[in-house]
Amino acid sequence: MTDTFAPTTRFAVPGRIAVSNRAAAVWQTATLTEIRRETPHASTFRFAVPGWSGHLAGQHLMLRLRAEDGYVAQRHYSIASHPDDTGHVELTLDHVEGGEVSGWFHTVAAPGDTVEVRGPLSGFFAWPGDRPALLLGAGSGVVPLMSMLRQHRARRLSVPLRLVVSARGPEELIYAREYGAETTTVFTRTAPQGVPVGRMAAAHVAPLLAEQPPGGWEAYVCGSNGFAEHASRLLVEAGQPVDRIRIERFG
């Protein structure tokens, strides 16, 4: 039996793109060129990576730091910048309590410092910009979704894109100045006067599925596991097919 195997069960979410394995295998030097504060707990770090092969919105990279005694710490981070920002990548990192890598970025790192990166990695969560995109994110889960939104704008794409982004409050909303009419913000703890406070709900998601474009949405969900479980359930209950929901969870 040598025929191609396909499971008898429903296929969840087929991969979208061919990934360059050669680019993913090579560690490259990334030079920090700029740090921009986004919120009290998150900043954007811009790097020059001259040999960067390019990426698709939604992909991530692996980053490593090395101590003098040879100790190495490596982490996966979603890429925030859009694919046409040639030779550069931007990462937006939360300052994780006790985090050895995010702690270094938030307390030590300065322009001119160098780190090492490999990527882009994984095609599963990538959005090539071809199909209507419905994006649900919470906290720093908005980072790969912002790469998609930036690409949508930079290339003046006509394909529909909608973003629902959740944050604890306005001061915790990453990229607050960049959202436009495509975005709905949800505040879970504090909100400006007259704006409701609460969890992302069917009322935010159902109207977007009611007005879905021909061929339907590709849904992308990114955030903590708790948020991902909640948001993906909202999508399913509103009628989004499970095999057109991609989920990226922190961890």
Helix, coil or strand: residue 17: coil
Residue 245 is a binding residue for another protein (CB under 8 A):
yes
Q: Which is nearer to another protein, 46 or 173 (CB)?
A: 46
Instruction: CB nearer to another protein: give 44 or 240.
Output: 240
Degrees to nearest 5, angle at CA 134 with 133 and 137: 125
CB of 64 to another protein, least distance (A): 8
Residues that bind another protein (rule: CB under 8 A) add up to a total of: 60
- Helices 225-237 & 202-210 angle (0-180, nearest 10): 50
CA terminus-to-terminus distance, the chain: 38
Q: Is 158 in the site for another protein (CB under 8 A)?
A: no
Residue 161 and residue 148 in contact, taking contact as beta carbons nearer than 8 Å: yes
Q: Please, what is the minimum distance in Å from the beta carbon of residue 208 to another protein?
A: 17
Pick the closer one to another protein by CB: 96 or 154. Answer: 96
Q: Are 135 and 164 in contact (CB under 8 A)?
A: yes
Is residue 167 near another protein by the rule CB under 8 A? no
Q: Using the rule CB under 8 A, is 29 a contact of another protein?
A: yes
Per rule CB under 8 A, is residue 216 in the interface with another protein? no
CA 237 to CA 202: how far, in whole Å?
Answer: 8
Q: What is the DSSP letter of 129?
A: S
Residue 67 sits in the site that holds another protein (CB under 8 A)? yes
Q: How far is CA 104 from CA 81, 96, 108, 114, 172, in A?
A: 21, 10, 5, 12, 21
12 binds another protein (CB under 8 A): yes
Residues that bind another protein (CB under 8 A): 1-2, 4-5, 7-13, 15, 19, 21-22, 24-25, 27, 29, 62, 64-69, 71-76, 100, 104, 108, 113-116, 121-125, 225, 228-229, 232-233, 235-236, 242-243, 245-251
